[in-house]
Amino acid sequence: MDAPRLPVFQTFIDQLRDIWAHESDTQTRMEKAMPFLSDLLKDEDLQTRSETWPSTEGRKNLLFYVDPDYGFAINGVVRIPGRRGSVHDHASAWVVYGVLTGTESLERYERIDDGTSTERADVKMTSVTIGSTGKVDIVAPWAIHAEQGGPTRSTAVILRSERMGDITQNQFDLETAAIRPGPGPTQIPFNL
Ligand SMILES: [Fe+2]
């Protein structure tokens, strides 16, 4: 039998289920979840446990939870020092990123072409936000962005409005301007 869920993680799930039960708008749900995720990230026991989480190199996510009723998913990412992430979107999903340990930066991009082509896109970076423990950031559907590692190993907890992996999302090649559709990160089930 699986070990019991970490109480602070169960509390977070209960908080999310309460939000989802009372709100029907996905953006509102995700925005209301942000302070609860930030609280979770400040839990020292969770921070300590993350030291033994396996690396997610190779476009993987730890899959901590998928809600059976509402479909939201909670993932973990473990980045090696200096990790460079691809520029991508998350298709139709809303995503809230939270930094648990180390530092990570979130780069946001915008298309500077007319936005009509599905094969190539000229994009430029519009902002970079550096986050450390407790920092949460929201990324809207189809928003173009990249997550970058910091100088040390870093870990993140991610709330997604839907489970990724099977949904086709886009990667943006900054050198050739090609848009590459493909599957999202491989989901690795992992009990918290
Ligand atoms: Fe992302």
pTM of the model: 0.95
What is the 144 CA–ligand 1 centroid distance (Å)?
A: 8
Task: Kindly give the distance from the C-alpha atom of residue 158 to the centroid of ligand 1, in angstroms, as a whole number.
Answer: 9
User: How far away, in angstroms, is 84 Cα from ligand 1 center?
Assistant: 12
Superfamily per CATH, domain 7-189: Jelly Rolls (2.60.120.10)
For residue 3, the model assigns a pLDDT of 72
Tell me how far the alpha carbon of residue 55 lies from the centroid of ligand 1, in angstroms.
Answer: 17
Residues contacting residue 1 through CB under 8 Å, at least 6 positions apart? none
Question: Mutual orientation of helices 7-22 and 26-41 as an angle, nearest 10°?
Answer: 160
Domain boundaries defined on the chain? 7-189
Q: Which residue has the tokens 């169960």?
A: 10
pLDDT means over runs of 10, the chain (192 residues): 85 98 98 98 97 95 98 98 95 97 97 95 97 97 97 98 90 96 95 94
Looking at residue 176, its pLDDT comes to 97
User: How many angstroms is it from 89 CA to the middle of ligand 1?
Assistant: 6
pLDDT value, residue 2: 65
